[in-house]
Structure 1
Amino acid sequence: MGRGARYTVSIGSGPFSLSALLAAGILTMLAGGAAHAATVLAPPAIGKPGVITYCSAINLPPMEFLSPATKPEGLDVDIGDEIAKRLGVKAAWNNVPFSGLIPAILAGQCDAIISDLFIKPERLKVLDMVPYLYSHEVVLLKAGSPKVPGLADLSGKKVATVTGTTATILLQQENAALKTAGKPLIDIVMFPENTQALQQLEFGQVDAYGVAYEPADYYMRQDPGKFALNGPPYFKILTGIAVDKKNPALNSDISETIAAMMKDGTYGKLLAKWNLQTDAVGK
């Protein structure tokens, strides 16, 4: 696109696998700033001129949620808006249930997904993903409930999750192990949105809620004394901004822009704003 040298790190479109990127320390280099990271100069490859449309399940605070004025806000929204600003376009947010995010982008309903989407091999078959955060999984309990040291200790208990999330998959995998051991299975109750799953825990309809650490921490801060964690996070994974493989130019634009944000300190400031410094890539 005539921009000269550029530094781009993404997963899915190039010769590097996720494990190779980690082994090479490329993610750490990205966090420290790259020699060629710079503000994007040319118009991005987007479906609607002047607007980059993001698909996001906007019900996972503090990552993405609606304000009382029904305006999208959160860390992912701040990052997406900053990317749009640096690309010289406006940001539009398409609120999609989590399980529908990938079908939506493949159907051309948006240009990119920013929605705490974990980088997984099956997703990399159809998407390119720019790593920009780590995320963690926990079990959220009502305050005063007996601690749950591990997923196996949820045997015979009712646990809320959101359809299509990693928490659901991990609980299903634990059920396979429990079945082999001849123990009662976890009663996994799936909901389309996090708000509904949290309400079930709050009202005592379930014993626990399998969810990412980021919203769990937010819920506890919003209502001190109401919820508690089962313990430290039991799972850690990279999160990525996803783009259809048919749009490598936009993938490169986003990767380059994230690198620039990391280098000039904007990335760190946004994480600090939402108390999520522990999720920073490179830590």
Structure 2
Amino acid sequence: MTFSRPRRRTLLRAAPLLLATCALTPALASCTHASERLDAESNAVPEVDLSGIEEVPEIADLVPAEIRERGELINGAALNYAPGEFVGSSGEAIGYDIDILAAIGAVLGLTTRTEAAVFAQIIPAVGATYDLGISSFTVNAERLEAVTMVSYFQAGIAYAVKAGNPYDIHPEDLCGKRVALQVGTYQEELSIERSQECRDAGEPPYDILAYTSNSDAATNVAGGKGDILMADSPVAAYAVARSRGTLEAIGEIEESALNGIVVAKDQPELAEALRAALQHLIDSGHMERILAAWGNDAGMIPTAEVNPQP
């Protein structure tokens, strides 16, 4: 059956429960939890060579004098959202957002530093504790009232099934199917709504398999315990990329929305510097290379914008 769109768009990421007790500190190792890491597989964390990215003087000149003199961009991020931003095996911040930040720093001639933060506390702290926030923020009207956002990526809801789709699963018809997802996410909320729509239509509801992590959900789909993985598109794409051929993507990305870097409203010069740096990375092919390494080049956008329409 075909489902109606949900009544509202909710943030396309899990609530950062695991970091809720972590202090806002650069000591990332103190916020490390086993459940925030990927398995220690040889292909789990790609090595992205950023050495070929050089400073672009005319873009670097756009950086506000205070940050230029400091020589460092300080980022706040909730490090529990692989592959965007999470904690590496040595306690360091890793992920495609962290690589993009480093690439921006190279273009601007600045070093970069990411501090672990509670997701809900990043925006209020941007402009004071942090220069910016790159942490898989969806661009929406509410955020644009509070901060400036610079678009750099596009994400939505995506699906994956066991390779070969042996159960003949179709994302638009999941009544009675075993839907694996992460507990506490928008996907769980949406699945509950859609499950009720199945009941209202006289069909069996979803068999919702809610796991503590997307990694567990993906593993159980690959192993045949679940019929389909439902997750944010970056998460689903990365799960497929690192599944060693046991998972495949299926269907179209739903509710696609821009992600943006958060900057304080009183820092228009910094926002423009970030936009120009991002556009340089897009035009030069570096952005595609970074995202492809993390299995997420499908999220590429052609143009970075300051305060794009959501």
- SS in structure 2 at match of 1:262: helix
- The residue that corresponds to 2:229 in the other structure is 209
Matched AA of 1:282: P
Which residue of 2 is the match for residue 91 of structure 1? 112
Q: Which letter maps to 1:92?
A: R
Cα distance, 1:271–1:159 mapped onto 2, change above 3 Å? closer
- SS of 2:253's equivalent in the other structure is coil
Q: Could you tell me how far apart the structure 1 residues matched to 2:136 and 2:59 are?
A: 24
Provide the secondary structure at the position in 1 that maps to 2:170: coil
| Residue among 94, 97, 103 paired with 1:73 | 94
In the other structure, the counterpart of 1:27 is: none
Q: Secondary structure at the match of 2:79?
A: coil
Structure 1 match to 2:241: 221
Q: Deviation at 1:280? A: 1.9
User: What is the rounded CA distance, in whole Å, between the counterparts of 1:78 and 1:43 in structure 2?
Assistant: 22
Asked whether the equivalents of residues 119 and 237 of structure 1 are also in contact (C-alpha less than 8 Å), the reply is yes
Contact 1:45 1:249 in 2 (8 A): no
Residues 73 and 150 of structure 1: CA distance in aligned 2, closer, same or farther (over 3 Å): same
Tell me what 1:125 maps to: 145
Trace 1:131-210 onto structure 2 (pairs within 5 A). Answer: 131-143=151-163, 146-155=167-176, 157-161=178-182, 163-165=184-186, 167-168=187-188, 170-175=190-195, 177-178=197-198, 180-181=200-201, 183-186=203-206, 193-195=213-215, 197-198=217-218, 201=221, 207-210=227-230
Which residue pairs with 1:104 in the alignment? 122
CA distance in 1, matches of 2:226, 2:254: 20
Q: Is residue 2:250 matched to residue 1:238?
A: no
Unaligned runs of 5+ in 1: 1-36
Q: CA deviation at 1:152?
A: 4.5
Asked whether the 8 Å contact 1:63–1:214 carries over to 2, the reply is: yes
> Structure 2 stretches of 5 or more lacking a match?
1-56, 304-310
1:281, 1:246 → 2: CA distance? 26
Aligned to 2:60: 40
Letter in 2 for 1:103: Q
- The question of whether the paired residues in 1 share the 8 Å contact of 2:59 and 2:277 is answered with yes
Residue 92 (structure 1) shift? 1.6
Residues in 2 aligned to 1:176 and 1:121: alpha-carbon distance in whole angstroms: 29
Shift of 1:79: 1.0
Change in 2 beyond 3 A, CA 1:140/1:44: farther
Q: Which amino acid counterpart does residue 74 of structure 1 have in structure 2?
A: G
Q: Following the alignment from structure 2 to structure 1, what is the Cα–Cα distance between the partners of residues 72 and 82? A: 24
CA shift in 2, pair 1:102/1:112, >3 Å: farther
Would you say how many aligned residue pairs link Structure 1 and Structure 2? 242
How big is the alpha-carbon RMSD for the aligned residues of Structure 1 and Structure 2?
3.7
Distance 2:223 2:284 in 1: 45
Q: Distance in 2 between matches of 1:112 and 1:171?
A: 33
Go from structure 1 to structure 2 and tell me whether the alpha carbon gap of 1:213 and 1:155 turns closer, same or farther (over 3 Å shift). Answer: same
Partners of 1:120 and 1:89 in 2: how far apart? 29
| Residues 106, 244 of structure 1: 8 Å contact kept | no
Please say if residues 162 and 197 of structure 1, whose CA atoms lie closer than 8 Å, have aligned partners that are also in contact. no
TM-score of the superposition, structure 1-length normalised? 0.66
Q: Deviations over 1:119-164 (max 9, x none)?
A: 2333333332211122242123345652431254145645323535
| SS class of match (2:114) | strand
Tell me the CA shift for residue 214 of structure 1. Answer: 3.0
Q: Classify the secondary structure of the residue corresponding to 1:119.
A: coil
- Aligned residue number for residue 255 of structure 1: 275
SS at match of 1:271: helix
User: Offset at 1:204?
Assistant: 6.8
Q: Is the 8 A contact 1:131 1:238 kept in 2?
A: yes
Change in 2 beyond 3 A, CA 1:204/1:242: farther
% identical aligned pairs: 22
Query: TM-score, normalised to structure 2's length?
Result: 0.61
Alpha-carbon contact 1:44-1:87 (below 8 Å) kept: no
Per the alignment, do residues 185 and 104 of structure 1 end up closer, same or farther by CA in structure 2, a change over 3 Å counting?
farther
